[in-house]
Amino acid sequence: MAVLKENSKTAVAQWVHQFSDELYSWAYFKTSSKEVAEDLVQDTFLAAFQKIEQFEGKSQPKTWLFSILNNKIIDYYRISARTTKKSFSLTETSGIELSEGLFSSFGCWKSTDIKANYDQESALLDNPEFNAVLEECLEDLPPKWKLAVTSKYLSTKNSDEICQELNITSSNYWQIVHRSKLLMKKCLDLKWD
């Protein structure tokens, strides 16, 4: 065994000092919540400590810890998808209804007064106010949809990995991404001047 039982506390303590910042950055990137990220990292180290005897040293400690963290993040979103955190959050059903209402039966936009003034700003993602509105619109998506969008656009995951994490088919995934983009556009049209 790569890590002896008597050295397990020391090893985990060293890992906390070595990898906390990187794990926290990843968790924050995936959840956009400081508190959730802190909890997930803490849970990661607790799980590592409890299962240290199972660590055989076939991978680097950092790789093993990130694997644990990614599982914690997936669990967090699965639980979030089952429970409603905010009363104003969209459900998948209401998200589908809203996104279908944006097009005519011919597939054309129903509204011709689409505001797209955010399209014309070249450094929009450097604008903190726009980022706050963008984050607010992202938070309004159903949890599974938010995870699909953030995994696609903010991480290096491919669609197969995302489908596996969300336990959905490829066609369902692409529908979720498409509908999410429509709702994000509508939200930005309404909230960003």
- pLDDT, tens digit, 9 for 90 and up, residues 25-36: 988 888 888 888
CB neighbourhood size of 66 (10 A): 17
Largest CA distance in the chain: 70
Contact by Cβ (8 Å): 53, 8: yes
DSSP 147: H
pLDDT of amino acid 112: 46
Q: What is the pLDDT of residues 103-115, one digit of tens each?
A: 666 656 565 444 5
Whether 31 and 73 have beta carbons less than 8 Å apart is answered as yes
Q: Is the pLDDT of residue 3 over 90?
A: no
Local structure of 109: helix, strand or coil: strand
CATH 1.10.1050.10: does it fit domain 92-191?
no
**DSSP for 30-88?**
HH--HHHHHHHHHHHHHHHHHTGGG--SSS-HHHHHHHHHHHHHHHHHHHHHHS-S-TT
Domain boundaries, the chain: 5-82, 92-191
Alpha carbon distances (Å) from 4 to 12, 54, 78, 155? 12, 11, 34, 35
Torsion of CA 74, 80, 83, 84, to 10 degrees: -160
pLDDT, tens digit (0-9, with 9 covering 90-100), for 103-158: 666 656 565 444 554 455 556 777 788 888 888 888 888 888 888 888 888 777 88
CATH 1.10.1740.10, applies to 5-82:
yes
Answer whether residue 6 shows pLDDT above 60. no
Q: Which two tokens stand for residue 33?
A: 């919540």
For residue 84, name the pLDDT band (cuts at 50, 70, 90): very low
Is residue 42 pLDDT above 90, yes or no? yes
Q: What is the structure's pLDDT at 109?
A: 56
CA 133 → CA 10, 34, 93, 96, 189, distances in Å? 44, 18, 23, 22, 10
pTM to 2 decimals? 0.44
Whether 11 has a pLDDT exceeding 60, the answer reads yes
- Distance, in Å, from the CA atom of 171 to the CA atom of 83, rounded to the nearest integer, reads 25
pLDDT over 60 (residue 55): yes
pLDDT band at 101 (very low <50, low <70, confident <90, very high): low
